[in-house]
Structure 1
Amino acid sequence: MNKKLIIIAIMVFLCPIVWAQKQIDRSQELKIGQVMPDIPVQPVINYKQSNIDINSFRDKVVILDFFDTFCVNCISAMPKLQKLQNELGDKLQVILVTWQDQKTIEKFYQTNSFLKENKVKLPTIYSADLLRSYFPHIGVPHTAWLHRNKVQAITYSDFTKAENITALYTNGTIQLPEKSDFNDGLNSVVNVVSKDKDIGSVRITGYQDGVERTGIQINVDSITGLQRTTFYNMDILGAYTAAWSKIKKPTFLLKDERIIWKVQDSSRYKYFKGEEGVNEWLLKNGITYERYDKIKRSDSLQAKIMLNDLNAFLGLKVYWTTKVLPCLVIKPLKNKHKDPMPLKSEGGVEGTDVLAFMIDYQGAFPPIIDEAGAKMNIQIDDYSSLENLNQQLKVYDLVIIEGKRPIEVLLFEEAM
């Protein structure tokens, strides 16, 4: 695994997911509030027959939960959906929907021990090209709510809760934050900038409904000719780390130990996993940033300006510093092998700096520091414990010890 791939992996870890804007046919797309067309019966498994008539559930709340078998978040949410179906079956019909074929989905249910353990057996429509044309999307999970022959909501799976289902069933309508993978709502978010008169603007707002969540984008606006710097519906910690990564490429993962909070409530800035889903949390804590500049700058300089904007508008002081913390340290062995064994030259990690990243990535260890600086190819098969790591590292004349070192930390401080 080379350094370039490691940098990419770090960036994926630090920054929110940004879905690729694929060309998708939206000519048949159904919008919230539209009447549902008559849908022909769809092929299904986990149902009393081999096809299912969605139209027959018009008096119930119908949840169409789009997924695929590669989506970990989709699969982890299925027991919750099954529980809702079991509890609210008189009001609710959950239907899973996927583009994948029958053979793939049948094998998925037969071999997935997590679903078996949680007794998940929800009706699942496969090869769902028609439903995907009615509800086009880029990222999954993607949830469409139907009731009384209308599209009532298109949202994130976080909002599939008993109270929302009951409210829709009782009232006949519901307002939930819209999930949009196509940024249709941007016209309501951006400032209208005059090419001739305005020299720039900055706008920071809260969560913008109906706008796709994106990472930092720096480009030239085709209409105004101004440099446009934006991100949408991002967590505050993610915004800072994404900006910093444009100034200095990260060489480590930002584990919890590397963040120092000097704030009243850190949960405003970072999502801590709990009962509340990340999209519910973003609805309350996510921010949107837009800046237009007549002066065109490099990405790194623009990122520094963005950090100044965030500090000024959010009342924060966020910066890198060092702190002595417990950590692991990769060191060369003092007593080296007199007759070293021949080592493989391919298939491992390239150097101890990359090894440090891989150990950090496991999530089970304190931050790790590389003091060996070795550039050899290192083969590690078992990351389960420090003892097992050291057993494998002996052949390379390396050892990992526990210690304390000054390490880089990101300090979040609220301005007084």
Structure 2
Amino acid sequence: MNKKLIIIAIMIFLCPIVWAQKQIDRSQELKIGQVMPDIPIQPVLNYKQSNIDINSFRDKVVILDFFDTFCSNCIAAMPKLQKLQNELGDKLQVILVTWQDQKTIEKFFQTNSFLKENKVSLPTIYSADLLRSYFPHKGVPHTTWLYQHKVQAVTHSDFVKNENVELLYKNGFIKLPLKSDFNDGLKEEGNALEQRKVIGSVEISGYKDGVETTGIQIVSDSITNQQKATFYNMDILGAYTAVWSKIKKPTFLMKDERIIWKVQDSSRYKYFKGKDGNIEWLIKNGICYERYDQMSRSESEQAQTILDDLNSFFGLNVYWATKELPCLVIKQLKVEKGNMPPLKSDGGVEGTNVLAFMIDYQGNFPPIIDEAEVKINIQVDDYSSLEKLNQQLKAYGLILKKEIRPLEVLFFEEVL
């Protein structure tokens, strides 16, 4: 398998699904507080009949959970939605919504063992072009709340909780953080900034409601001669690693073992799975950054400036160094000629450097170091244990050995 394709595939898996697409038509978009139009009956699976009338649920809280079968986060949340439906069925109707066709969704429910194990059988509207035009979005999961024939909220799926459903049902309205994929809030701020004719500024703020999470962007404006550096709604660790990647590009996967915390409370800087969902945690701890300069810098120079700003603001020193740590080293064995398996053109990984990346990605092994640096096609089907890996690698004249080596690590240090 091509290394670039592997990396792209992993990035897609790790992130909420965001599809590259043409300009999204927002002409029919419904906003919070607007009355719902009469929606024609929609084709549906997992329901008492083959179509469903959303208008008939005006006396229940309706959750429209937009998903697709490529989105692992969407699928992982479905048992929670089913549990909520089972508990609050007299007050709530959860409806899954997807753009995908009937055949695809039927196969999805028939073959997904996770959904079967958790007895997920929520009504699912398929080929939902009309609903997508009313509630446009770039990424899923995307959740719309309806009640009393009005749009009550548009949120991330983290906020679909018993207490929020009960609150909306009781009060007839609710205020929840807005999920927006179109950065409408930034457009308003940008206009205000332009009116103030700012010459230069640095602003580090908390999470911005209704603003899409973005990585570091550095752009120059030929009209104002300003250079603008921004990122929005990132966790602090993510911001630092993104900045450092523009100064010193990592050649390995950033595993937890490669972060050395010298801080009082690391949960302020990185999300650790717990009571809150990832988005809830991000709303409490996420940060935004904007810098306007008259001086134009190279990308690496501007990244260093951002790093200095973050260190100064948070009282941190975040730097790369080496530390002796347990690891797995890919080494070559002595194999007689003729005992090597025939090379395959596809179906494996291309070389030990890609193999190291794939093993690191599994998450249940120490960091991997590639000392073999062999460029052959390697077929590995079972990553469940070190023993299983070595059984498969032996045929290629390779072995993984436990050793302690100096590894590059990121020190995250609070400055007293």
Hey, what does 2:160 align to over in structure 1?
160
The one-letter code matched in structure 2 to 1:341 is: M
The one-letter code matched in structure 1 to 2:220 is: V
Structure 1 residues 70-89: aligned runs within 5 Å: 70-89=70-89
Hey, what does 1:115 align to over in structure 2?
115
CA change 1:209–1:400 in 2 (3 A) is same
Hey, what does 1:389 align to over in structure 2?
389
Structure 1 residues 12-23: aligned runs within 5 Å: 20=20, 22-23=22-23
Hey, what does 1:272 align to over in structure 2?
272
Structure 1 residues 9-408: aligned runs within 5 Å: 20=20, 22-190=22-190, 192-193=192-193, 198-221=198-221, 224-333=224-333, 335-337=334-336, 339-341=338-340, 343-344=342-343, 346-347=345-346, 348-408=348-408
- Structure 2 Cα separation of the partners of residues 86 and 378 of structure 1: 47
- Which moves more between the two structures, 380-389 or 226-235? 380-389
- Which moves more between the two structures, 350-359 or 206-215? 350-359
SS in 2 for 1:403: strand
- Which moves more between the two structures, 406-415 or 44-53? 44-53
Deviation (angstroms), 1:340: 4.3
- Which moves more between the two structures, 280-289 or 301-310? 301-310
Deviation (angstroms), 1:235: 0.8
CA change 1:65–1:167 in 2 (3 A) is same
- Which moves more between the two structures, 371-380 or 69-78? 371-380
Check whether the contact 1:144–1:151 (CA below 8 A) recurs between aligned residues. yes
After superposition, the C-alpha distances for 1:325-369 in whole angstroms (9 at most, x for unaligned) are: 111111222x44255436416333333222211211121211111
The one-letter code matched in structure 2 to 1:214 is: T
- Which moves more between the two structures, 117-126 or 15-24? 15-24
- Structure 2 Cα separation of the partners of residues 341 and 364 of structure 1: 29
- Structure 1 Cα separation of the partners of residues 151 and 196 of structure 2: 43
Check whether the contact 1:16–1:238 (CA below 8 A) recurs between aligned residues. no
Deviation (angstroms), 1:13: 8.4
Check whether the contact 2:18–2:139 (CA below 8 A) recurs between aligned residues. no
- Structure 2 Cα separation of the partners of residues 111 and 206 of structure 1: 42
Check whether the contact 1:189–1:208 (CA below 8 A) recurs between aligned residues. no
Check whether the contact 2:259–2:410 (CA below 8 A) recurs between aligned residues. yes
- Which moves more between the two structures, 317-326 or 8-17? 8-17
Q: Which runs of 5+ in 2 are unaligned?
A: none
Number of equivalent positions: 415
Deviation (angstroms), 1:3: 5.0
Check whether the contact 1:21–1:182 (CA below 8 A) recurs between aligned residues. no
- Structure 2 Cα separation of the partners of residues 283 and 392 of structure 1: 45
- Which moves more between the two structures, 282-291 or 16-25? 16-25
Deviation (angstroms), 1:22: 3.8
Report the TM-score when normalising by structure 1. Answer: 0.93
Deviation (angstroms), 1:138: 0.8
- Structure 1 Cα separation of the partners of residues 224 and 337 of structure 2: 69
The one-letter code matched in structure 1 to 2:405 is: R
CA change 1:394–1:121 in 2 (3 A) is closer
Deviation (angstroms), 1:152: 0.6
CA change 1:48–1:14 in 2 (3 A) is closer
- Structure 2 Cα separation of the partners of residues 140 and 355 of structure 1: 30
CA change 1:299–1:2 in 2 (3 A) is farther
- Structure 2 Cα separation of the partners of residues 318 and 307 of structure 1: 8
Report the TM-score when normalising by structure 2. Answer: 0.93
Check whether the contact 2:330–2:400 (CA below 8 A) recurs between aligned residues. yes
SS in 2 for 1:360: helix
SS in 2 for 1:404: strand
Deviation (angstroms), 1:400: 1.4
- Structure 1 Cα separation of the partners of residues 17 and 368 of structure 2: 26
- Structure 2 Cα separation of the partners of residues 50 and 104 of structure 1: 16
